[in-house]
Structure 1
Amino acid sequence: MTMKAMKPIRRSKLRLYAGKRYFTWKRYWKWITASGRLATEQRGEALQYEAASHATPLLRKLRNVDMQLQHNKIVNLRLAVAKLDGLVIQPGESFSYWRRIGKPTRRKGYLDGMVLHYGGFRSGTGGGLCQLSNLIYWMTLHTPLTVTERHRHSYDVFPDEQRTQPFGSGATCAYNYLDLQLRNDTQVAYQLKLHLDETHLHGEWRCEGQQLYHYEVYEDGHRISLEPWGGYIRRNAIRRRVLTHSGELAGDEAVAENHALMMYSPLLHG
């Protein structure tokens, strides 16, 4: 993508509305015509081996963000987790975040949470579910599961003070056209385990047999550039090292490339 193309484009409300409807119905059609097996089994009993785990805090103090939106987010996360916890992905099966959760609506109990929107934020029904897709994506990078669809964040909205993972290592979501999809190309079943406690969202990938390798995810080529039109663009690459159980390097793989428009001045944040 050229520098000029990174400049934000102002679109009318009508254009945004029409575009969202177009991509939503395009996704519905893709679901109808898609081939392949979707994972559907939810099992209460956990598979024997832990493949990857992670936890993220439920509440963060963010500048100019109403904390009630984050408390509502916890309600939304509990509803979504109930749809995903214990899901078993057999060899050859696929997982779709939105096909499994469904559309978050008030009728289902979802509340207004924070939704990132064109470099800012607003309230929206089901807001906050990106925290769950981010968690699942990050854990998946530590397994041999194949990511078949993932969308990067186009804007870097908040500074790094509370960031614990590399910039660009998440997966944004928006029903239903920005999805997170995975496929199990291994020979063993994998299971997604999720739960919330008082302070954190917890996740695990579990599997039937011990993984042959473990993975270290890292950032490469991070840079911030001042564009000719006056904005800052943040870029990096996400890679992962594939290591044997004895610690020997078996591979070094490219995962994703990111570029995002910064919504704060990098000169004011070290």
Structure 2
Amino acid sequence: MTTSTDDRKIAVVTGASSGIGAASARALAGEGFTVFCAARRIDRLTELADEIGGVAIACDVTDQAQVDALAEAVGPRCDVLLNNAGGAFGQDPIETADVADWEQMYQINVAGSLRVTQALLGAIEQAHGAVIFITSTAAETAYEGGAGYCGAKSAERSMAGSLRLELAGRPVRVCEISPGMVRTDEFSLVRFEGDQAKADAVYAGVDQPLVAEDIAECVRWIATLSEYVNIDRLVIRPRAQASNWKVARS
């Protein structure tokens, strides 16, 4: 891929303080990228940045001023943007769903990715770089209790598809990684407001759910492909998960 003027490849990873974001930051650093690790929890980011030789930037993607500050810190070139900041909140049916949960999901997953993409797009084009969206198999089809998250991730998928069409002929790759069941320390725990039993039940009896490093490997692969190779969408699930609703359990 094209490198910046000081011969460093630059990557920006949102939601880098844990899970897929932190694993992806490590994977990209291993390929020689200087990684700008962006998230709200600066203590975790500082530890990660020190580990990988990256840069910690406190950034809430729902705050335009913080996103603008991130873009200013990154500078005029960005080889890879990983739009990873996101999350699911609640799993209630539509009949009883909390509107605030839905609004939060749309603000982070959709509007947050929009803000960061807009802020860095010029730098990405300058570098002939790539925008990679982490969506979810929740965007593949609806499931009970998932309307809010399915909707948010479907909207993010539509954003990736529209951006790819709008930038046709310009030197920017627009790629999407759609993970299925990934066991991380926080995703399900956040979804169920800290209820460890509910979080553990998601993965109960499943033979080897994916881990964050599996998704990070996909990020690393896409990021290091030649600049003319676009991975429109990569769907990745554990072997035990045939679909959103069909999961083999012991």
TM-score after normalising by structure 1: 0.26
Higher strand share: 1
Pair member with larger Rg: 1
TM-score after normalising by structure 2: 0.28
